[in-house]
């Protein structure tokens, strides 16, 4: 989780690298608690809570509401 300017810069650099790798057809796994990051960068989201997989959503079905509902169910 980025908390300062140095971490935020590193996060920006990471996002650029992720985009480059995705463009090469690679699969990228991202773990984040930030909704914009999850929804903006993911083709598919796997929802986990306390180490248990709660479900999987494709980009068109992944909203903060559907993710949260899945996480607490």
- Average pLDDT for 42-54: 91
- The band of 11, judged by pLDDT with boundaries at 50, 70 and 90, is confident
- 5-9, 14-18, 43-47: least confident range: 5-9
The overall average pLDDT reported for the chain is: 84
Distance CA(68)–CA(73), nearest Å, equals 9
pLDDT for 31 equals 82
**Nearest alpha-carbon partner for 34 in 61, 14, 60, 64:** 64
Q: Report DSSP letters for 2-65, one per residue.
A: --SHHHHHHHHHHHHHHHHHHHTT-------S-HHHHHHH-SEEEEEETTEEEEEEETTT--HH
The reported pLDDT for the residue numbered 59 is 93
CB-CB contact of 41 with 15 (8 Å)? yes
């Amino acid at each position: 989780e980025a908390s300062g300017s140095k971490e935020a810069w590193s996060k920006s650099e990471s996002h650029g690298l992720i985009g480059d790798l995705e463009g090469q057809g690679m699969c990228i796994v991202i773990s984040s608690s930030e909704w914009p990051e999850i929804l903006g960068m993911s083709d598919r989201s796997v929802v986990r809570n306390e180490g248990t997989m709660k479900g999987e959503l494709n980009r068109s079905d992944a909203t903060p509401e559907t993710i949260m509902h899945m996480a607490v169910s």
